Structure 1
Amino acid sequence: MRHLILLLPIALAACATTGSGGTAIAVDAASRGQALPGASCVVQTGAGSWNITTPATVDVGTPSGELRVVCNKAGYRTSETVYRPSSPLGSSVGLGAGGGGGNLGVGVGLNFPISLGGGRYPSRVTVEMNPQ
């Protein structure tokens, strides 16, 4: 039984994953709340750059740095939207104390992200464009 308890952290670590799948992002342009198809956009991350025409979906791979979308269309000002990847895992520290039967125990717990620099991009990006 003692060996099973010692193996539990190893088994849990083996189940952890940082995710290696791609990230598909739907990109749209809009002006005053109305869809604006046909805008030429450049989608950039730390992993690369993609040229698209809205509406479009682009697979940017694993999140790497900021997601930057720059769109142009005749009659409209160039617009840019920037997102930083949001991380589902945060860093935190916890402290606890307990006792009973004449004993006192103190514990410290740490939580830290498994994936360094990871996170998620939004699944949909709408770039707001203003007329010239």
Structure 2
Amino acid sequence: MEQQFVFMKITMARWTIIYGVWLISWAAAVSVATGTESITSWIPAMLGMPILLMGLMCLIRPAQRKIWMHIAAVFGVIVFMGGIDVFRGLAAGRDLFASPAAGASKLMLFVTGAWFSVICFRSFIWSRKNPPD
């Protein structure tokens, strides 16, 4: 088996799948729990689906893992940037949790998007330092 970057004993392909499933599950749970019909409650799922697909592609076509992980990392940064919106309300002096589900979702996107982006970048650095033999 080829040597890969591992974080907490889990490969990046599997972290990508886990993160995609998390985003989709979060969107479904928030949408069902709040009973909202707004499409915006599904934004985490819209971003989680391509992340999940890129993780699956890493397992299906490991020879192209580099491109799939770079695409997943781009979506991770987009998730993070979407979460930055949580600070727009704070800067305007509004209550962060005036809409609790929206505030929690934005905060989740910010924190988890940052986390996923950081471990992606760490894996890219590791890959540069440990090229295949």
Relative to the length of structure 1, the TM-score reads 0.29
Task: Give the structure-2-normalised TM-score.
Answer: 0.28
Higher gyration radius (CA): 1
Higher helix share: 2
Which structure is higher in strand share?
Answer: 1
